[in-house]
Structure 1
Amino acid sequence: MPGPCWWSLAALLLGLAVVQGRFVQSDDDGWRCKGFDCELVEMEQPGQRALKVSNRQHVLHGPEQTLTVEAGKTYHIAGQVKLLGHHTGPTNHTLHMIVEFTLPDGYKTSTMADSRHQLSPLDGWVRLHGEFTVPTATQGETRVYIAGPPPTVTFLVGQPTVTRSPRDPSWRNETDAVIRNIRMNNIHINVTKAPGMKDSDITILIKQTNKSFPFGTAVYAKLYNNASQAKYRDFIGKHFNWAVPERYLKWFFIEPVRGQKDYSDALNMIHGLRSQGLKVRGHNLIWPAKVFIQKWVQALSGDDLREAVKDHIEETMNKTRGLVEHWDVINENLDEHWYKNRLMDPDFDLETYRLAHSIDPNVKLFINDYAVVATGSDTEKYLAEALRFKEANVGLYGMGVQCHWPNNLEPDPYLIKERLDLLSQAGVTIWVTELDVWAVDENTRADYYDRALRSLYGHPAVEGILFWGFWDERHLRGEEATLASGDDLTLNAAGRLVFDLFENQWMTRETHTLSESGSAFTVRGFHGDYELHVMHKMQERTDLKQTFTLLPGADIRLSVKMTGY
């Protein structure tokens, strides 16, 4: 999960970026520059021009351009930026592409379309691109800003392109067709009757008892381990088959003071979850965001720091050996680099994965990051990250995609598919590790979850989906993101929608009477565990009951031989 209030970063930047000042040059290819110098220059290709930006007074100063867009519509925006200078090494510059909307009351809101880090003039032209959805209430201007480098850095900006994202009204039918194709297989049933038996007297019931596809949730150990919170624990066991500790496996919770370690909360919860039949993800071994690193760790450097990290990974993986299926070895590695910077080792992240893989080759190792599916500012960068890990052969199994949709942003099935298609080029499996949407109205929230879940479940590269909480009394984003409310964990409209998908629409239960289906028929079933029951003259033939598991990619054939009465 990103650090607190990550979704408000763009608003903060814009609040600082718009300053009053002289217009050195206005309306040059649509650009406006306030309080700094801009001039049009010829690019390498004849006939093409770029805006040269210089003499800025603040990192958040930058050229702006008004966009022609429609309220409620989603757009893709892309542009080229080139840092100028003669630096011979990395300078860790940042580039932001920010889109600002003016609402009817004059209030301004914004979104970060793209953000690139660790850049230098040596990178040449850098492509910034992303998507944004115009709020339905927007009546004023929509503008794009380019900002981020230090004021002393001059840069070039190419003309951006803005294209409307296609909205396919048939997306639901198409997605449901994909779900039937990839999440289901055939159950072929052949019934042999004893002489004298009538087809109308024989009924076959195919009943799915468990779903094999992972649907899970983040779990808070203090609640789960509390004997007075049995309803919380029972809700999890009833509705989910996977879980992830919300925070109690993170290093700063385990060892806030050096040498004072406490794994008890996490291990007690994991044992409890496993006793309920749930599988567990390990989250996380290292989180390189400084705000989540203990002071005693921050005081270390060199070999002392490496040794501390090594000891923590070894001890934590050994204590959870055989108890967790996955490990997020490093959390949010795209934009957080404290350990690599402290050690001055750009490949330290690869080293930690090699270590983890050597400790337990059987546990599946993941990278895990945000702004790659719910928003798309880092999608291409995440693909490159996965390919780097894969090429390094460090034991990477999959990519965790955190899907925290910003407040009141409707999930767009087209963009979800586009981003997942891009990430799937890495050739590793994808798990949705932290899912939530946000809407005050529970019916709107239900629609948001419906769009997100169908799109995610309907993508072949997605192997599992976990919510980042579900209860209004324990959710980092408040009631507006939840599925259940109150002491009794009563399902709200969003919860009723979600669990109808999980437990009805995406589960298989069919009844076939031979007089209607014939003695040989086929059921298309979701993957998971099943029971076959045989009824003759309204009485169950318990001797003919069968249990079986329908696996992905494998049809199954069952024979029922009815002998005697």
Structure 2
Amino acid sequence: MLKVAAVFGALLVIASGELLKNGGFETLDGWACWSNLHCELSSDGHSGSHAFKVSNRPRWNTGPQQDIHPTPGHLYRAGAWVKLLGEGSDGFGERIQLEVAFHYTDGRTSYNAAAERYGVHTSDGWVYLEGDFSVPNASLEWTRVYFQGPKAGLEFMVDDTSITELLLPGTGSWRHTTRSAIDAIRKSGINIRVTTADHIDKNQVDIQVVQKTRPFPFGTAVACSAYNTKSRGNYRDFIHKHFNWAVTENALKWKVIESTQGQRHYQQALDCVRGLRSNNIKVRGHNLVWSVPVNVQGWQKALSGDILRRTVKNHITDVMNVTRRLLEHWDVNNENLHGTWYQDRLHDPDYDLELFRIAHAQDSHVKLFLNDFSVVAQGASTYAYLNQTIRFKAANVGLYGIGVQCHFPDEMEPNPDIIRHRLDILAQAGVPIWVTELDVMSKDDNRRADFYEMALSALFSHPAVEGIMLWGFWDKFSWRGEAGALVKGDHLELTAAGRRVFDLLENQWMTDETYVLSQTSDHFTLRGFHGDYEVRVHYQGKELGNLTQTFTLGDDEQDVTVHMHT
């Protein structure tokens, strides 16, 4: 028997075949508790009669484990209920993960978080971990799932754990699904009525409806060092021609602005941002602080307490004043879901909220974002990100939206149905979603083109997505090199992936249609992408400029009347 779940106009079919034995923990069967770990049955279960109580944990990554037999190349959903029986004294709560280890026949082992939660407290009671994971399409000797995450020595309970395969619609169905959704949410009706004098030959009347601009943000990360270099004019010209938004890749990061304490350097970033804005490109700021420890400057790591608080506040104040009215967005605390250095250093679990308060107080006009990974391109952290977003929204600290990075792993084919499913989960928070750092990777250029089309179609088709930013496009300034590039070489030659992407952005997702009046009737309707339009009239092969009309198409239908009486 199959369970069928609706996923934004598609069907995501969840196989009932369960990979785990004794996922309900009604007995001790099926699970191994090694490394002196102690597991016992408890009557305090989430459901049923029992749960597993786990104690005597020598390390943070020890917990009940079980070997499973998934199919290589297939996708699986993982879920589990967990209850903490203790936590650290720092007040941050605990990270809990259901991890998957893949051991290959060549001796390698790789690890993948299948589901995780952050900041879990004993007072939360039973909490649900949910996520999904892909099995490597390779020869595997064994696959193992296990619980990990709470600090060594902390006890916890687990119950109602499940791993089931996600069976998706057949190949090709995503095109119909995404196109239908794009038509519904990115287009509106245009009603054209034409009145003519009796002597006008309708066979020689052409009505052209052409879109001039697109309001939907399609942007790219910009390497400001290259953008500001005179010899890189082709790079600047490409950006100006093809994108309406940009994000500073590195130039506004704190470690670039102030690698040495007290020596602040803004000129590179300001020249870049002003150049983009002068070409009608809006700019995102990335980022005010970055909580992942490896991205915190060494001189900052020597600070603590009030001195660190003042230093951070002064930095936010300074950089937001310098860039005031130049930026539309700020990523405030980058990857805070996966890094909590400032909170840890200050022994303040709510300091991440304080960072937003500081930024919002400095400039209430700029829109403030969370920004993180493994929430759409991969699924282990999707629910954790939803919970974090809900927390920020409830705290009323100025959060506008959330950024989803979307760095797809090497040679991973994006699955449009899974992407939209994860976006559905995040959309439950009720804030806008921006795709902030999209890229895919494949050495095969045509395969890379398919990957980009799948990802972009899925993202553009979701109603919560307000903008899409590529994380670079040129092999010379891409962290993924040619395997992720849309253009290559000194002359920025379009790759097959580049041709596919810009055909989507500039042809398929723009409107330019011409109608012969005798073939349509005097009143006809089309659906056009949102944006600024011109309606042009041609008679006997010549454009009648005096009859040209302009309008802006938004969510509401647009009525246009053309009078041809001379």
In 2, distance between residues paired with 1:104 and 1:299?
45
Q: Distance in 2 between matches of 1:261 and 1:155?
A: 47
Q: 220-229 vs 163-172, which deviates more?
A: 163-172
CA distance in 2, matches of 1:265, 1:253: 10
Q: Please tell me whether residue 490 in structure 1 is matched to residue 476 in structure 2.
A: no
Query: Is the 1:89–1:120 contact (alpha carbons within 8 Å) kept by the matching residues of 2?
Result: no
> Residues of 2 paired with 1:107 and 1:37: CA distance?
25
Partner residue in 1 for 2:23: none
Q: Structure 2: how far apart are the matches of 1:86 and 1:408?
A: 39
Q: Deviations over 1:329-349 (max 9, x none)?
A: 221122322222233333322
Q: What are the Cα deviations for residues 360-391 of structure 1, in whole angstroms up to 9, with x where unaligned?
A: 22211111111211112222222222222222
- For normalisation by structure 2, the TM-score amounts to 0.89
Asked whether the equivalents of residues 401 and 434 of structure 1 are also in contact (C-alpha less than 8 Å), the reply is yes
Aligned residue for 1:274, secondary structure, equals helix
Q: 1:218 aligns with which of 197, 215, 221?
A: 221
Query: Distance in 2 between the 1:127 and 1:391 partners?
Result: 20
Counterpart CA distance in 2 for 1:335 and 1:449 is 26
Contact 2:194 2:522 in 1 (8 A): yes
> Are residue 558 (structure 1) and residue 560 (structure 2) matched?
yes
Indicate if the aligned counterparts of 1:90 and 1:119 stay in contact, CA closer than 8 A: no
* Structure 2 gap segments, 5+ residues each: 1-26
Structure 1 residues 227-283: Cα deviation after superposition (integer angstroms, max 9, x where no partner): 111111111112111000001111111122222111110010111111222110111
Q: Which residue of 1 aligns with 2:357?
A: 354
Q: Deviations over 1:296-340 (max 9, x none)?
A: 333333332222222222221122122111111221122322222
The whole-number CA distance in structure 2 between the counterparts of 1:110 and 1:325 is 38
Give 1:528 shift: 1.4
Alignment of 1:392-407 (within 5 A): 392-407=395-410
Q: How does 1:218-367 map to 2 (within 5 A)?
A: 218-367=221-370
Q: Which amino acid is the alignment partner of residue 300 of structure 2?
A: V
- CA contact under 8 A between 2:117 and 2:383: conserved in structure 1? no
Corresponding residue of 1:42: 42
Q: CA deviation at 1:130?
A: 1.4
Which amino acid in 1 is paired with 2:175?
R
Alignment partners' CA distance in 1, 2:431 and 2:151: 37
The one of 397, 400, 417 aligned to 2:420: 417
In structure 2, how many angstroms separate the alpha carbons of the residues matched to 1:397 and 1:537? Answer: 52
CA distance, structure 1, for counterparts of residue 364 and residue 54 of structure 2 = 51
How big is each residue's C-alpha offset from its partner over 1:95-147, in whole Å with a ceiling of 9 and x where there is no partner? 33222234454543332213334445454434332111122334543221222
Q: Which aligned pairs between 1:175-194 and structure 2 lie closer than 5 A?
A: 175-194=178-197
Q: Deviations over 1:402-456 (max 9, x none)?
A: 1112222222222222221121121111111111122222222222211111111
Query: Does the Cα contact within 8 Å between 1:73 and 1:164 map onto a contact in 2?
Result: yes
1:379 is matched with: 382
- Say if 1:88 and 1:242 are closer, same or farther in 2 by CA, change over 3 A: closer
The residue type paired with residue 175 of structure 1 is: T
When residues 39 and 297 of structure 1 are mapped into structure 2, their CA distance, relative to the original with a 3 A threshold, is closer
Larger deviation: 160-169 or 299-308? 299-308
- Partner secondary structure for residue 439 of structure 1: coil
**CA distance, structure 1, for counterparts of residue 104 and residue 443 of structure 2:** 19
- Residue 89 of structure 1 and its aligned partner are, at CA, apart by 6.7
Report the CA distance between 1:87 and its aligned residue: 6.7
Q: Superposition pairs for residues 106-125 of structure 1, below 5 Å? A: 106-125=107-126
- The correspondence of residues 457-472 of structure 1 with structure 2, limited to 5 A, is 457-472=460-475
| CA deviation after TM superposition for structure 1 residue 157, in Å | 3.4
SS in 1 for 2:490: coil
User: Distance in 2 between the 1:89 and 1:301 partners?
Assistant: 15
Q: 1:56, CA displacement in angstroms?
A: 4.5
**Alpha-carbon offset, residue 493 of structure 1:** 2.0
CA contact (8 A) 2:87 2:154 kept: no
Tell me the CA shift for residue 91 of structure 1. Answer: 6.7
2:537 corresponds to: 534
Name the SS for the 1:109 alignment partner. Answer: strand
Over 3 Å counting, the alpha-carbon distance change for 1:97 and 1:407 in structure 2 is farther
Q: Which runs of 5+ in 1 are unaligned?
A: 1-26
- Which deviates further from its counterpart, 403-412 or 94-103? 94-103
Deviates more, 1:372-381 or 1:300-309: 300-309
Alignment of 1:34-73 (within 5 A): 34-45=34-45, 48-73=49-74
Q: Would the aligned equivalents of 2:474 and 2:487 in 1 still touch at CA under 8 Å?
A: yes
- TM-score norm. by structure 1 comes to 0.89
CA–CA distance in 2 between the matches of 1:307 and 1:88? 25
| d(CA) in 2 for partners of 1:259, 1:89 | 31
CA distance in 1, matches of 2:483, 2:88: 48
Residue pair 1:133, 1:409 contacting (<8 A) in 2 also: no
Q: Aligned pairs, how many? A: 537
Over the aligned positions, Cα root-mean-square deviation in angstroms equals 2.2
- Which amino acid in the other structure matches residue 520 of structure 1? H
Q: 1:263 to 1:39 in 2, by over 3 A?
A: closer
CA contact (8 A) 2:42 2:53 kept: no
Q: State the 1:197 CA deviation.
A: 0.4
Q: How does 1:126-141 map to 2 (within 5 A)?
A: 126-141=127-142
Which residues of 2 match residues 496-507 of structure 1 at below 5 A? 496-507=499-510
Per mean C-alpha deviation after superposition, the further-off stretch among 80-89 and 322-331 is: 80-89
Q: What is the CA–CA distance in structure 1 between the aligned matches of 2:394 and 2:40, rounded to whole Å?
A: 41
- Tell me the equivalent position of 1:3: none
| Cα distance, 1:329–1:90 mapped onto 2, change above 3 Å | closer
Q: Deviations over 1:185-233 (max 9, x none)?
A: 1111111212300110100111112211101110001000011111111
Task: Provide closer, same or farther for how the CA distance between residues 287 and 504 of structure 1 changes in structure 2, counting only shifts above 3 A.
Answer: same
Report if aligned partners of 2:372, 2:403 keep a CA contact under 8 Å in 1.
Answer: yes
- Over 3 Å counting, the alpha-carbon distance change for 1:110 and 1:138 in structure 2 is farther
Instruction: Please name the residue that 1:96 is paired with.
Output: 97
For the structure 1 residues 247 and 509, does the alpha-carbon distance in structure 2 shift closer, same or farther, using more than 3 Å as the test?
same
Secondary structure of the structure 2 residue equivalent to 1:426? coil
Task: Deviation per CA, 1:161-184: give whole Å up to 9, x if none.
Answer: 112213023332122111001000
Q: Could you tell me how far apart the structure 1 residues matched to 2:411 and 2:101 are?
A: 16
Q: State whether residues 250 and 286 of structure 1, in contact with CA within 8 Å, keep that contact through their aligned partners in structure 2.
A: yes
1:74 to partner: Cα distance:
0.8
